[in-house]
Amino acid sequence: MGYKRCLMCLVLVVLAAFTALAPAMAESLEDGEADVRFMENEWNYVEESIDASAGIPMDATGVLADIREAGVLRVATEPYFPPQEFIDPDLEGQDSYVGSDMKLARLIAQRMGVALQIVPMDFSEVLNAVADGSCDLAISALSYTPGRASRMTMSKGYYYAGSRAGSGLMIRAADSGRITGIANLVGRNIGAQSGSLQEVQMYENVFHYREFRRMNSVQELYNALMNGTIDAAMVDAGTGHAYIDSNPRCGLMMVPGVHFTLEEQFDGDRIAARKGEGRLIAFVNGVIDEVLASGAYMEWYEEAAARANALGL
């Protein structure tokens, strides 16, 4: 009985010591350690948010602390995807990068209390720039894919295309009688944007074709279709329809009835950070909550769409 009592006392002492130590452990997270309060869900993206209105918290760690120390938020984007991100030729320098995503990037930097540096690059390099630490966030109309989520920590969704969500097949209007579905791609050249969800969907759904070409931007895809380099392209349905609406003389069309819908976890544009940066993404989610609640993001989107349309983008 005495032995059991002593053993129980020892257990209680150890538990008491661990309880006292736990807060200190939580406060002493080193750079690169995951904050257990902001872990990814089963789909590998962060759902939790923190209040971003007071700026970067004093107990921030990892990249979030680095941003506060540097006084600059570096954002990687491919600026050729209107209306989310594009270049306005009437503006100069950093101001020339416009669109609803760029408005969101500027608000995130504002809430952090730091300057914003937008870093343009090919879409295929956007995630690599975050992974290697040359940029802090990727904001470039990113869709969720399991591959991206396995390499990056992703935010909740902030833009949803509604009935046009998903991917579709774009062709030349002159070929409407010859290409009416996937089965008509046998012996034809097809394309998709490199590193995109549409590239994945092309691989998963189209098995018979002549050549598959990957392009660095959606504008390259449109140009390749118009000049005959490829015969069909898998594109984001909403963006494809918007481009055709803005450029009625482009000679392109979406194939009716060919539409690949998204499962719930794939829906919505997201922001990405280096793997394990849950606290940074929780801060980003706080800003996303703000713009969704106020309706600001959709206002930005509509304004940017009107400007892109005026520029013929």
Q: Which CATH superfamily is domain 162-263 in?
A: Periplasmic binding protein-like II (3.40.190.10)
pLDDT of amino acid 196: 80
Sign of dihedral through CA atoms 49, 283, 131, 60? negative
More confident residue, 19 or 50: 50
Q: Which CATH superfamily is domain 36-160+268-311 in?
A: Periplasmic binding protein-like II (3.40.190.10)
Measure the CA–CA gap between 154 and 169, rounded to whole angstroms.
27
**Interior CA angle at 79 toward 233 and 50, to 5°?**
110
pLDDT of amino acid 42: 54
Instruction: Please write the tens of the pLDDT for every residue from 164-187.
Output: 667 899 999 999 999 999 999 999
Sign of dihedral through CA atoms 165, 171, 174, 179? negative
On the CB side of 111, how many CA atoms lie within 13 Å of its CA?
A: 24
Inform me whether the pLDDT recorded for 218 exceeds 90.
no
Q: How many angstroms separate the Cα of 128 from the Cα of each of 33, 134, 137, 188, 276?
A: 20, 9, 11, 32, 15
Among 221, 214, 251, residue whose Cα is nearest residue 236? 221
3-state helix, strand, coil in the chain (%, to 5): 45, 20, 35
Measure the CA–CA gap between 271 and 195, rounded to whole angstroms.
15
239, 192 in Cβ contact below 8 A?
no
Inform me whether the pLDDT recorded for 302 exceeds 70.
yes
Residues carrying CATH 3.40.190.10, the chain: 36-160+268-311, 162-263
pLDDT of amino acid 223: 93
Cβ atoms within 10 A of the Cβ of 163, count?
A: 8
Q: Which two tokens stand for residue 275?
A: 């793997």
Instruction: Please write the tens of the pLDDT for every residue from 122-169.
Output: 988 998 999 999 999 999 999 887 778 888 999 999 988 765 667 899
Inform me whether the pLDDT recorded for 73 exceeds 50.
yes
**Span 289-312, mean pLDDT?**
93
